[in-house]
Amino acid sequence: MPDTFAALLAEQLRSDPGRPLVTFYDDATGERVELSVATYANWVAKTSSLLVEELDLERGGRLLVDLPTHWLTPVFLGAAWTVGMSVVGAAVTSATGADAVVCGPDGLELYADRAADVPVVACALRPLGVRFAEPLPDGVHDFGVEVWSQPDAFIPWDPATGEDEALSGVSQRELVARPAVHLEPGGRLLTTVSPLSDPATMVEALVTGGSTIWVRNPDLDALPKKYHDERATARLVE
């Protein structure tokens, strides 16, 4: 049994790289994104390299992730755990005590003035992960610019261990060993709950060989059809 997120993802990458793992809808814009296990792993590798090679972050650090429901949110969760960092959610409203910050457009005003003290990475949350249309505040890194130059594979010089903290009070070993709550083997979970509110849903999809369908700005009337069209087997709706 794998005892780290990276080992769990590598196991799934070997066994079923082409299956859908992350599906994202934004019902306000009509956007739909689907990442296979292989594509998700590629984004995690690039993002992990960005955290370590460009931002000089290390195993044992804390990454504050303040993003809405979006396909990049589980990417940053996976990258942080691959590096061996603990994820701090948006309930922490400043970068105090964090070694780096990841935010969306709505967080720029809150975190830009911290860029002199810790790395701040901003995500435009535009289709295909592209850059911001306008210049960012001084010192803020544009994820959509910097991620593309990163390699497609990440080989850490100080690999994460099962004892490393993944979430507050939860080690990586405990995270990947949690029993599945929402999914049977091979199941598909449709959820409107933010990946940051329930990070275990990402891990559960890997453990069960399943997948997760996240919906932002959900049209509740359209959810039953989406559930049917996506062949979902379980739902978690706020």
Tell me: pLDDT of 172 over 60.
yes
Q: Which CATH architecture has domain 5-236?
A: 3-Layer(aba) Sandwich (3.40)
Strand partners, 189: 212, 234
Report pLDDT for 200.
85
Which two three-digit tokens encode residue 94?
Answer: 């400043």
pLDDT tens digits along 195-217: 998 888 889 999 999 999 999 99
**Residue 26 to residue 98: CA distance in whole angstroms:** 29
User: In the chain, pLDDT over 90 holds for what percent of residues?
Assistant: 88
- Whether residue 137 has pLDDT greater than 70: yes
Q: What is the pLDDT at residue 190?
A: 97
Q: Is 57 exposed, middle or buried (0-12, 13-18, 19+ CB in 10 A)?
A: buried
Query: In this model, does residue 27 exceed pLDDT 70?
Result: yes
Residue spans per domain, the chain: 5-236
CA 11 vs. chain centroid, Å, equals 18
pLDDT at 94 over 60: no
Question: What are the tokens at 71?
Answer: 């396909």
- Mapping DSSP to helix (H, G, I), strand (E, B) and coil, where does residue 71 land? coil
Report residue 39's pLDDT band, with 50, 70 and 90 as the boundaries. Answer: very high
95 confidence band (pLDDT: 50, 70, 90): low
Neighbours of 79 (CB within 10 A): 29
For residue 62, the number of C-alpha atoms closer than 13 Å in the C-beta half-sphere is: 15
pLDDT of 127 strictly over 60: yes
